[in-house]
Amino acid sequence: MSEINCEETKRQVNEYLHNELSAQEVQDITAHIANCDSCETDYDFEVLFNNVIKRSCDEAPPQELAQRIIDRIRAIDSGRVEH
């Protein structure tokens, strides 16, 4: 996994929200936000969760939830899950 910085994360969040990024980019951003208090606050991570995971909002800890988003995005990207 490549590392991205806060600036890149902030630049790409709109594409992130509109599902215009590749699975790898989404993974990088999700991983960054999950480990960066600054970006997590900036992005209102709850909004990201609501957009990306519409069905399974539970009380998982942030890192587990981020992994779940990554898994789900991968599934969508590979065509295994209906949009």
Q: Single out the segment in contact with Zn ion by CB under 5 A; choices: 14-22, 34-42, 46-54, 55-63.
A: 34-42
Residues of this chain, 3-22, that bind Zn ion according to CB under 5 A: 6
- Please report how close the Cβ of residue 43 comes to Zn ion at its closest, in angstroms: 9
Angle, helices 6-17 vs 45-52, to 10°: value is 40
Spatial CA neighbour of 31 closest among 60, 7, 1: 1
39 binds Zn ion (CB under 5 A): yes
- For Zn ion, give the closer residue by CB, 40 or 77: 40
Minimum CB separation of residue 80 from Zn ion in Å reads 30
36 is a site residue for Zn ion (CB under 5 A): yes
Return the residue matching tokens 């970006």.
39
Torsion angle of C-alpha atoms 41, 39, 7, 78, degrees rounded to 10 = -130
